Amino acid sequence: MGTLSNPTSTPGPSYTYNGTVTPSYGIVGLPKQGVLYVSDPQNNQVDAFAVNNSTGALTPLSGSPFALPPSGPLSRPWGMAADPAGKFLYVSNSTPALNGSSGGTDALTIDSTSGALTVVPGSPFLDADSGFVTIDPSGKFLYAIATGLFGGITADTIDSGTGIPTPVSGSPFQLPVGMSCALYPCFPISLVEDSTGRFLLVVAYDGFQVFQTVWTLSIDAASGALTTLGGSRQFGEGTTGLADFAIATSGTFVYVSVPSGLYDPEGVYPFSLAPATGALAEVQGSPFPPGTASGGLTVTADGKFLYEASASTNTINVFAIDPTTGALSPVGKPVPAGTGPLILTLYKP
- Distance (Å, whole) CA 205 – CA 211: 6
Q: What is the pLDDT of residue 105?
A: 84
Tell me if 10 is assigned to some domain.
no
Number of structural domains (the chain) is 2
Look at residue 11 and tell me whether its pLDDT is greater than 60: no
Q: How confident is the model at residue 243 (pLDDT cuts 50, 70, 90)?
A: very low
Considering the domain architecture, whether residues 304 and 203 belong to the same structural domain is answered as yes
Taking residue 73's Cβ as centre, other Cβ atoms within 10 Å add up to 7
Looking at the structure, tell me whether residues 292 and 331 fall in a common domain.
yes
Residues 158, 179 share a domain = no
Q: Are residues 144 and 190 in the same domain?
A: no
Q: 38 and 180: one domain?
A: no
Tens of pLDDT, residues 102-135: 567 889 999 888 888 999 998 888 665 566 788 8
Give a yes or no: residue 130 inside a domain: yes
pLDDT at 248 over 70: yes
Its domain, for residue 223, covers 174-349
Q: Could you tell me the CA-to-CA distances from 220 to 158, 168, 249, 253 in Å, in that order?
A: 15, 11, 19, 21
Contact criterion met (CB below 8 Å) for 64 and 48: yes
Mean pLDDT of the chain: 76
Residues 6+ apart with CB under 8 A from 115: 22, 25, 27, 35, 48, 50, 61
| CATH number of the domain to which 239 belongs | 2.130.10.10
In a domain, 4, yes or no: no
For residue 186, being part of any structural domain is answered with yes
Q: How confident is the model at residue 20 (pLDDT cuts 50, 70, 90)?
A: low
Same-domain status, 135 and 195? no
- Per-residue pLDDT, 325: 92
Closest residue by Cα to residue 127 from 142, 113, 109, 112: 142
Residue 41, pLDDT score: 75
Cβ proximity of 263 and 225 under 8 Å: no
Mean pLDDT of 81-96: 80
Q: Which residues of 7-34 are buried (b: 16+ CB within 10 A; e: fewer)?
A: eeeeebbeebbbbbbbbbbebeebeebb
pLDDT tens digits for 169-191?
998 888 876 555 655 566 777 88
Q: Please give the pLDDT value at position 223.
A: 95
Residues 6+ apart with CB under 8 A from 54: none
**Residue finishing a domain among 124, 139, 168:** 168
Rg (CA), the chain: 19
Q: Output 261 or 105, whichever has higher pLDDT.
A: 105
